[in-house]
Amino acid sequence: MSELQQTNPVPATAKWKIPQEFLTAKSATYCALFLPLAALPLLIDSSFVYHIAILVCLNAIITSGLGVIVRVDQLSLAHGAFAGIGAYASALAVIKLGVPFLLSLVLAALAAGVAAVLLGRLVLGLKGVYFVLATFAFNELFRMIMLLLPEISGGTNGLSNIPAAEIAGLEISSKPGFYIFIALALAATLLVVWMILRSPIGRAFDAISGNLPLAQASGIPPRRYQILAFTSGSVIAGVGGGIMAAYVGFISPESFTFWFSVNTIIMLIVGGRYSIMGPVLGALLLTPLPEVLRSTGQLQQIIYGVCLIAILRFMPGGVSGLIDRFAELMSGRK
């Protein structure tokens, strides 16, 4: 009998199936919440609503990167720097080299990834507050270097007139077009994060976060996976920075200060540190605040602080924890 004849046919039941976690009450709850909200800008067709929706998606993408990093119990204050590295890499590639927009995002990811690997090897051996301080120092170092290199960064004047994003020759500078693009980019980001976290890599992240000595005894090299999580999260931030540069059309070193990183952390904590949808919830709740409170100055930071304290006190799992609990009640589980 030939080799072809000996090969067993693929069973009909071996077809791809929808993962079971997509068919739960929790997934249904999130779909019922987010699908109408995602469609809302298209229905209202307001320039202001489109602008807010785009910023929500942008912040959710960048915060999703930080969500990967905290999976290995590391809290980075360098997230703004990696978004800035991605923004400058993308903008300079488009302005100086005429690189297409999508390719410029690949370069943004590479630049942020290389910087994250180099920084990770230096600081991921530090613990607790020392790691936080080291990443804070890197964020400030990046900002100062950019200010001292005006021929690259534009200095205090920044880079302006960044070309509008184009995909396959089609300009997506209109707010409806850019909203559709960034909503798809956010969906792709969440899918990538979900695939990482449900893979053996994600399980290693959870093992390191849950019990580091036990993870080491099980043969998991913590430092390797910490660098992997740090790099993956920073790459996502870099891509978000590249998208931000294309949308705003202007970036400067002052766009990526310490407060950029702090606001990202607050969004993650408010939404839920260990939920894939946490960054989206945090961005959805906190992104509109600066627009609503534009005339209140420093009150914006006070409200952020009050929200953070309230969430930590009454909802340690963030808003996503509350939604998860509601989904469990709806499904009859206690």
* Kind plus residue range of the DSSP H or E element containing 263: helix 258-271
CA dist 99 and 86 (Å) reads 14
SS3 call for 17: coil
Domain count, the chain: 1
Hey, how many other C-beta atoms are within 10 angstroms of the C-beta on 177? 16
Amino acid 24: pLDDT? 65
User: Helix crossing, 47-69 with 175-197: angle to 10°?
Assistant: 20
User: Is 205 a member of any domain?
Assistant: yes
Average pLDDT per block of 10 residues along the chain, 334 residues long:
45 52 64 80 87 95 96 92 97 93 96 96 89 95 94 88 82 86 95 93 89 84 93 97 95 92 92 90 87 69 74 79 75 58
CB–CB of 234/65 below 8 Å?
A: yes
SS3 call for 213: helix
SS3 call for 297: coil
Hey, how many other C-beta atoms are within 10 angstroms of the C-beta on 11? 7
Closest CA relative to residue 285, chosen from 296, 298, 269: 269
CB–CB of 167/102 below 8 Å?
A: yes
Domain encompassing residue 162? 47-256
Amino acid 5: pLDDT? 45
User: Is 56 a member of any domain?
Assistant: yes
User: Is 24 a member of any domain?
Assistant: no
Amino acid 174: pLDDT? 84
User: Is 274 a member of any domain?
Assistant: no
User: Is 328 a member of any domain?
Assistant: no
User: Is 314 a member of any domain?
Assistant: no
Amino acid 304: pLDDT? 64
User: Is 322 a member of any domain?
Assistant: no
User: Is 156 a member of any domain?
Assistant: yes
Amino acid 6: pLDDT? 46
- List of residues 6+ apart from 77 with CB closer than 8 A: 132, 135, 136, 139, 258, 261, 262, 265
Amino acid 14: pLDDT? 45
